[in-house]
Amino acid sequence: MFKPTRKIRFSVALILVTLLSACASSPTGRSQMILKSDEELAQEGAREFAKIRAEAPLVTDNATIDYIACVTNAIVGVMEGEWVDLNWELAIIDEKTVNAFVLPGGKISVYRGILDVAKNQDQLAAVIGHEVAHVTARHANERASRSVVTGVGVEVAAVILGGGHSGYTKTAYDTLSAGAALGIFLPFNRSQESEADIIGIEYMAKAGFDPRESVTLWKNMAGNNEKEPPEWLSTHPSGSNRINGLIAQYPKVLVMYNDARAQGKNPQCQQ
C-alpha cells in the first residue's frame, strides 16, 4: 500500500495553514478563500480587456453606447470605499449574443444582444449590477484561489490513489478532475452567481432602478433560452431559483429603492 511521504504530509499541512490564514468574508458574509493579489488579477484583467477592445467588433452607434454607459455610470455611482477609485471601464461588443461578463479590475463587457432581453433601463441595470457585484465580491480572486488549491488537492490525491505508477496516476487524476468539476467548481460558481444576484439587486435599487424589474429580466431570459441544462450541470442557478432568490430580497431592496428615489436618484437612461 502506498503511504504519503513525510514531505507530502508537510506540504499538506503547509497548505492548510495557508488556507486558514487566507480566510475572508464576502459582502453577504459568506466565507471566502483569498490567496491571490487583487492588483495582480487587475493587471491580468486589464490585459485581456485591451485584447477585447482591440480585436472584438465594438458598437459604434452613439445612442446605444450612451444608453448602456448611462446605466453603468448610475450603478458605479453608488460604489463605496475602495471601489470608488477603481478604474471602471466598459466595452460594448457588436454581436447578438445575449451575454455580459466582467474581468478583474472592473472591466465590464456587454454584448449588444443583451438588449433583446433587457427591455428597459431597469432590466439592463440588473445585468450591470450583477456584473459589478462579481468585482466587489472578489469572485475572480476567489475562483483563482480555489483553482490553485483544488489543483493541488487533486494532484496529491491522484498520486495516493494511483500508487505512484504513472499510468494509474493519470487515470486517477482524470477521474478526480471530473469529480472536482462537478462536485466543487460548479456548485461553487452557482453560489457566486446567486451572491452576485443579491448584491447586484441592491446596487440597482440604491441607484434608483426598480429592483422588481430584475425578475422580469430573468423571465425574459427564460423565454429566450428554449432549453437550459440541469442546474447540477450548470455554472448558474436555474431560472426559477434565481427568480425566487430575487423575490426574497424585495423587503430589503424596495426600502433602498424608495430611499434612493426620495434622495432624487431617478435615472433617465433612454435607448
Active-site positions read 131
Query: CA-CA distance, 40 to 105, in Å (whole number)?
Result: 9
- d(CA 70, CA 125) in angstroms, rounded, equals 10
Nearest to 235 by CA among 186, 199, 163, 202: 186
109-114 contacts, C-beta under 8 A, 24 or more apart: 109/49, 109/52, 110/68, 112/59, 112/64
